A and B are shown apart, each in its own frame.
Chain A
Amino acid sequence: MRRALRAGVLAGTLATSLAAQSRSADVLQQATQFYERLDVEHALALLRQIVSPNWGSDVSATQRVEAYKYLGACLALTGKPDSAVVYFRAAVERDPFAELDPNRFTPAQVRLFGEARRRTFAVAVRPLRSERIDPRTAHLSFTVVSTHAAALRAELRAASGSSSVALFGGTSEGLREIRWDGLQADGRLASPGRYAFVLTGRSQLLDRSDSARVFFDLGHETAPLEDTLPDLAPGTLLPERRPSSGPRGDLVKGLAVAGVVAFISGVLPNRALGGTMRGGAAVIAGAATVSGVVAFVVGRRHAGIPENIAANDGRRAERAAQNAAIRSRNAAKVAATILVVSPAAGAGP
């Protein structure tokens, strides 16, 4: 309920504002019609109403600039060049991109407008539009302007402050296109994030400086990348060394067999028959003992398992080759990344 009420109030306010701007537009249109009919007095009266602080309706920035331009033009026609320059300057200060169309205005008016530009120093950046750019074949263009000759410097700054790229440095006057190839200073593709295009200028006619900036969000449009395969876990590899318990176990096994031989020859025979082949039993028990000792020594000295090591090396090499191929494919995808530019809030001079 409260949300609906708030929405209603907002809609009402918006409608009122639009209606007010519409009224300003109507008056501005009437003024320009008076101007076109050379009815300068009526035009001036209406235009002064629009730029007056007492004007009861909202006036957009564009409408205000337009009103100042026509005020200057009217005053130029009435032989008041100084006043005309004042209003032209007001227009240029508010919109450094403002121009007088030579086809619609007289050379004297255009000259006075130029004078206003010389007396005013301002720089501006035209707001960006949303667009997709393939950095391999296209550039992102920034349109900048200075009202007269100035030393301009343009750079791109990541909002995170992590990087900046100098895009232009030099003298410029009027409109200029500054292009960006989408790369950072280190030659790599700019990371996704918010950026500010910052334009600073110092007048070559006046002792003045000005700056403007425009913010935009940069996104990457890249085909999904493949994950590299993880390193082979120890559990997935063959054991490369025999367990340390193995040699000791072998020694125990050899001794155990010797013990069994001793048991057979010493306990199991019928004592009434006298001895058995004790010598033969000793030979076999000795062989078992020696076998255990040899197994113990060999196992300790040659704990590595060469065939397993070779097999594991082969598997690691195969995994490395797979990951190299994945990285190569990913690099190709990244190289084909499309930059997605969208204007961000906070843009403006």
Chain B
Amino acid sequence: MRRRVRDLSAVFASLGLIAPGLASQVAVTGSLFTGVAEHRVDGGYGVERSSGALLGSAASLLVFRRLELAVRAEGGTLGAASSGAVDRDMAEVDVRLRGRATPWLIFEAGYARRMYSTVLARQAWTMLGAGVEGRVALLEGAIHGVARADLLPAVSVSGLPGPDLAFTSAAGVEYSHGALGASAFYSLERYDFPTVNSVQRLEQLTALTLRFDVRLLPR
């Protein structure tokens, strides 16, 4: 495994992504995740609910054991689950920069681009946010409890004004054994848009996510 790490580090170094001297300080983690999501929106016509499975993958680059760059992509189809709702495809790319202040506190800032596509229209979301993640170790670090909260002060949605309130939050547990890891999270995204013509648009996305990681260098 260490040899593979060295090889990967050498590849990154040869591509110029990291300086050759930093190769030994870099760790790469690859992840696959799946989950179930539920989307609720009320645009003045009652609550429309849709839900479905999501699949995705992620990769992260950890430098000096403190600075992490994570890229995530996911997508899936959320089927209509209430009257008035329509099926919608969802796709998202998320780039996040995380800094580990302590082993139990991480600050992060991220950019996300999300697309909802229905038979009627396509809606693009652009989100900039920042937040914190708290981690507590159980069983000498074999298990971690994680809680995360991000504020999204800059959210742009095509065809809509930016929301007055936007945040995400998540909590769950991570299990690790050697270079392998698995985690389960519950997450919530809430967007309260401003009232326009006496109608306030509310949106919310909740998800239950299972993630599987391969850590090329244990953290």
B143 CB contacts on chain A under 8 angstroms: 250, 291, 294-295
Residues of B within 8 A of A281 (CB): 186, 208
Which one of B36, B136, B206 lies within 8 Å of A253 (CB-CB)? B136
Can you report 18 A-B residue pairs in the complex whose CB atoms are below 8 A from each other? A253-B136, A253-B137, A253-B138, A253-B145, A261-B186, A264-B187, A265-B186, A268-B188, A270-B190, A270-B192, A272-B47, A274-B40, A276-B206, A277-B38, A284-B186, A287-B184, A292-B145, A295-B138
The residues of A that contact B139 with a CB separation of less than 8 Å are 250, 294-295, 298-299
Contact with A along B9-46 (1 / 0, CB 8 A): 00000000000000000000000000010101110000
Bound-state Cα–Cα, A253 to B138, Å? 7
Q: What per-residue 1/0 map shows which CB atoms of B176-201 lie under 8 Å from chain A?
A: 00000000111110101000000000
Q: Is the CB of B42 within 8 A of A273?
A: yes
Interface size, A (range): 20 to 34
Q: Which of A264, A273, A283 contacts B171 (CB 8 A)?
A: A264
A256 and B49 CA atoms in complex are apart in Å by 30
Chain A residues whose CB sits within 8 angstroms of the CB of B187 once the complex forms: 264
Main secondary structure of the interface of B (DSSP, over half): strand
Kindly list chain B residues whose C-beta atoms are within 8 Å of the C-beta of A254: 138, 145, 173
Interchain nearest-CB distance for B173 vs A (Å): 5
Interface hits, A232-250 → B, CB 8 Å:
242, 250
Annotate B137-151 by CB proximity to A: 1 below 8 A, 0 otherwise.
Answer: 111100101110000
Determine if B138 and A292 form an interchain contact, defined as CB atoms under 8 angstroms apart: yes
Q: Does A338 contact B (CB under 8 A)?
A: no
Other CB < 8 Å A-B pairs besides A276-B188, A284-B186, 17 of them?
A: A250-B138, A253-B145, A254-B145, A257-B145, A264-B188, A270-B192, A273-B47, A273-B202, A276-B38, A277-B186, A281-B208, A283-B184, A284-B171, A285-B186, A288-B145, A291-B173, A291-B175
Q: How far is the CA of A281 from the CA of B169 in the complex (A)?
A: 12
Residues in B neighbouring A292, C-beta threshold 8 A:
138, 145
A277 touches B171 (CB 8 A): no
Q: A257-B172, A283-B184, A284-B185 are in contact. Are A277 and B145 (CB under 8 A)?
A: no
Contacts of B38 in A (CB 8 A): 276-277
Report the nearest A residue to B147, measured CB to CB: A260
A264 and B207: CB pair below 8 A?
Answer: no
A-B interface contact total, Cβ < 8 Å: 108
B190 touches A269 (CB 8 A): yes
CB nearest neighbor in B for A277? B206
Task: Confirm or deny: A280 has a beta carbon within 8 angstroms of a beta carbon on chain B.
Answer: yes
Q: A269-B206, A270-B204, A283-B184 are in contact. Are A256 and B136 (CB under 8 A)?
A: yes
CB of B128 closer than 8 Å to a CB of A:
no
A298→B139 CA distance, assembly (Å): 8
Cβ of B170 within 8 Å of any chain A Cβ, yes or no, is: yes
Inter-chain contacts of B49 with A (CB < 8 A): 274
Question: By the criterion CB–CB under 8 Å, are A277 and B184 in contact?
Answer: no
Interface pair A288/B206, CB less than 8 Å apart = no
Cβ-defined contact, B204 with A287, below 8 A = no
Q: Which residues of A contact B170 (CB under 8 A)?
A: 264
Report chain A residues within 8 Å CB of B173: 254, 257, 284, 287-288, 291
Contact of B186 among A253, A264, A291 (CB under 8 A): A264
Contact A287–B172 (Cβ < 8 Å): yes
* Chain A residue at smallest Cβ distance from B165: A270
